[in-house]
Amino acid sequence: MTTDIRPAVTVRRARTSDVPAIQALVEPLVQRRILLGKDAVVFYEAVQEFRVAEDADGRLVGCGALHVFWEDLGEVRTLAVHDDFRGRGVGRILVDRLEQDALELGLSRLFCLTFEVPFFERQGYTASPLSLVDPEVYAELVRSPDEGVAEFLDLARVKPNTLGNTRMLKHLR
């Protein structure tokens, strides 16, 4: 039986010095084709979107990002927990913090594209259809060069290793 370590883990805003550790957390999931691989520059460009979880020794054991899509819609991205800490509450506290951040930004809906459906269901997310935005918003979003937006919109240019994941949605308020 695993032990819940939430009290021993703290979540904070990521710093640029965390990027190598974030990449190290994400890489095993990239190798298993659960997450998209990203170049270091992409992590540095998005570091302000990330929260990281540290154990009592200051070691990064988890990360997750909140990406704003539209006035009311954001995405939980790049949620990763070190294999030694999976099933111990780290992912839950990261998602809680990202949801708190989303509310502070004025978002009312969060979605994720995931293979970890049972985990997100336990957090209150449900499988959702493609039509999460109005046609006018779709027309604006399709202009974005962001690969996550392309995934969200289910565009043909989406990288093939992400196909087959589940789109999940949670209403925050």
Give me the chain's average pLDDT, please. Answer: 84
Task: For residues 13 and 47, give the distance between their C-alpha atoms in angstroms, rounded to a whole number.
Answer: 9
Q: Is the pLDDT of residue 78 over 70?
A: yes
pLDDT of 18 reads 98
CATH topology of domain 10-171: Aminopeptidase (3.40.630)
Task: For residues 1 and 81, give the distance between their C-alpha atoms in angstroms, rounded to a whole number.
Answer: 18
Of residues 151 and 28, more confidently modeled: 28
pLDDT of 35 reads 86
Q: Is the pLDDT of residue 12 over 80?
A: yes
DSSP 2-39: PPP-GGG-EEEE--GGGHHHHHHHHHHHHHTTSS----
pLDDT in tens, 34-43: 888 889 999 9
| pLDDT band at residue 145 using 50, 70 and 90 as cut-offs | low
Model pTM score? 0.81
Exposed/middle/buried for 57, CB within 10 Å: 0-12, 13-18, 19+? exposed
**Residue-range domain boundaries for the chain:** 10-171
Q: What angle do CA 73, 44, 65 make, to 5 degrees?
A: 30
pLDDT of 144 reads 62
pLDDT of 127 reads 87
Tokens of 153: 């919109």
pLDDT of 107 reads 96
